[in-house]
Chains A and B, each alone.
Chain A
Amino acid sequence: MFQNLLNGLAIGSVYAIFALGYTLVFSILRVINFAHGAVFTVGAYLTYVLTGSSFGFNGLLRGQSLPFGLPFPVALLLGAVLAGLVGVVIERLAFAPLRRRGADTLLTLVSSLGVAVALVNILQYLVGAEPYRYPSTALGALPTAINFGSAAAPVPIRTVQIVIFAVSMVIVALLTYFIRGTRTGKALRAVSEDATTAQLLGIDTDRLILYSFFLSGFLGAVAGSLVGLSVSVAGPYFGLAFGLKGLAVIVLGGLGDIPGAVVAGLLIGLAEAFVPGQYVAYRDAVAFVVLFGVLLVRPQGLLGRAQVQKV
């Protein structure tokens, strides 16, 4: 019970920070960045290579590794920063040209899908499709499990889960402070409220869009590395599958709704963790049933208000 709860919170908090990446970009551009799942994967691989681990036997980079290895927390941060820059490049290549032309948002969606497909397959071309595991020393001297019960009735919890939950919550707190408490965060909110007016008031919209893509890539990469730490980096495609679940999270939370994304991430994580044992094979369907149901019943999301479309 307690184990389920903590497992659910751990995976749910990763869903939350991943979905925050989606939602940041959506709140500003009103477009879903389908390349987010690919950036998640890129981040996981960057962290892997920065820890000094070597690649397998299948890709173009077979057997290669960096001449140095960073400790896991540093690799995670640096990998996330690099993935953030990948996000910025994606913005410049796939979003900016269409935005300048005032193209249909569905077209932008498709071009981001194209970038996602290309990125994932470049990864596969470079490093092969096999799963990678982070070095077992990633968490340093921490024990692999902590007993939360008594010696007679042990309730072991994997330390990884606690670390993931803690790291995610710290990131959510920092992001909340950034958006609520800083000038840039205020400007971001202004742009998401009304981009034209914000621009008229002297806010550099273009620069803020770059910031949001950087942050989004950063968050995606942290989520990717944390999932990699908990299970493994299960090949280039694992981010796309995760990305689809992330869609369920942002829709449940309400598209573009930042607190909503956090609540929805935790809820879906918990819902998956509490799937009864005999139906465990259907666990992957939970997020999509939620996505389908929410779209039909409450498309504005959990915390949202219904919007009347003006004509």
Chain B
Amino acid sequence: MTATAAIVSPLGRAPERVPRHRRGVRDFFVRLPVRAVIAVLLVIEVYPMVWMLLGSFKTQDEFLNAPFWALPRSFSLDNYVSVFTTGGFGQYVLNSVLAVLPSLVLILLLGVAAGFALEVMVWKGRGTVLLLFLAGIMVPTQMILLPLFTIYFRIGLTGTLWPLILTYVATGLPLTVFMMATFFRAVPREIFEASTLDGASMLRSFWSIGMPLVRNALFTVGLVQFFFLWNDLLIALTFTNSSSLRTIQVGLLNFTGQYGAVQYGPTFAAIAVNVVGTLLIYLFLNQQVMKGLTAGSVKG
């Protein structure tokens, strides 16, 4: 309660009554607590990343005997080398890429087509089908894991990355269809009617007019889905039954236990490798990512 009062109090100040020459000084002191709050927040958010990066260069001895704020004695890449050699991270990264990229392409392609069919095309029952897709956003993934495990086992897909790809596509579709339908809602129908008057078939209008119109939206949705899939643990944990199929998240989860005693340096390097991909994307595309993730927050 006091925090609320402290934060909103400057709203009430009336700067007009303060003589001009004193306003700068006053403003500085009024703004000081805000600046302090912001500074503390930024340190809290950023420090763990700095600590991780520095830790990835430290030796086991430095972790056990030097204080946590000490800088690494050398910037040797030994920890990173062991992540990829003894840790087998190369395979994990490859598995993640092989599972996520095809899923992403399929989700976007199928999702944008379905969104178009559900929003632009006119037919009986499209409201019901849209609701059916929406229900998929609500239902927890736990609900489908056991039957899928049985299905994949019976049709012999266990031991490949196919269970991951298929499940990723199906679980990614509801949100994508929903978002694409929302974007198509803003496009005037006349555009498609005009293009068909010019002799284009409906499929052609979709491909050469509908798709380019929602290109930016498609990119944003793609980013959101990429984060969901790349960071997924539940589905990957369920369907990767051998270590050669592990994705980067499952690999990292099993990483610490591998040597008996915790190997701090390599663990920190593994965390850094795991984090760097999404962090780099955020560094360059943060505005789109923020827009997309908040728009896709229905997923929870």
Whether A and B are associated in the same complex: the answer reads no
Interface residues of A (CB under 8 A from B): none
Interface residues of B (CB under 8 A from A): none
